[in-house]
Amino acid sequence: GQNIDQPTEMTATEGAIVQINCTYQTSGFNGLFWYQQHAGEAPTFLSYNVLDGLEEKGRFSSFLSRSKGYSYLLLKELQMKDSASYLCALTGTTDSWGKFQFGAGTQVVVTP
């Protein structure tokens, strides 16, 4: 299996930085993805990692360590609109990038 664990909820203030951790147990995967999902909306892509290391995309960065079974999503300069659920997801191991297994999601609450 690919058990994926994320904290249930995190609270941070506007302008701050928040780090959302994701740990997993799996024998292999193609990539680790992070999605943002606002209530009632479809998930939107934020970042992905195929190789170990840090990937930066504006205010969002994602890190992967395959040897440690660990990833994190870093959100900088938090804005109120960043209040959402953040989903960690692993892609399939063989036939397709599209077969995701998602973590339960981390609800981030940004306060003024």
Partner 1 sequence: SAVISQKPSRDICQRGTSLTIQCQVDSQVTMMFWYRQQPGQSLTLIATANQGSEATYESGFVIDKFPISRPNLTFSTLTVSNLSPEDSSIYLCSVDGTGDYEQYFGPGTRLTVT
Burial code (b: 16+ CB inside 10 Å, e: under 16) for 61-78 equals bbbbebeeeebbbbbeeb
Using CB under 8 A as the binding rule, whether residue 53 contacts partner 1 is answered as no
Q: Is the Cβ of residue 67 or residue 94 nearer to partner 1 in the bound state?
A: 94
Contact 59, 77 (CB under 8 A): yes
Using CB under 8 A as the binding rule, whether residue 86 contacts partner 1 is answered as no
Tell me the CA distances in angstroms from 4 to 11, 80, 112, one per residue in order.
21, 27, 31
* Near partner 1 by CB under 8 A: residue from 5, 9, 14, 41: 41
Using CB under 8 A as the binding rule, whether residue 101 contacts partner 1 is answered as yes
Using CB under 8 A as the binding rule, whether residue 103 contacts partner 1 is answered as yes
Q: Which residues bind partner 1 (CB under 8 A)?
A: 31, 33, 41-45, 48, 50, 87, 89, 96-105
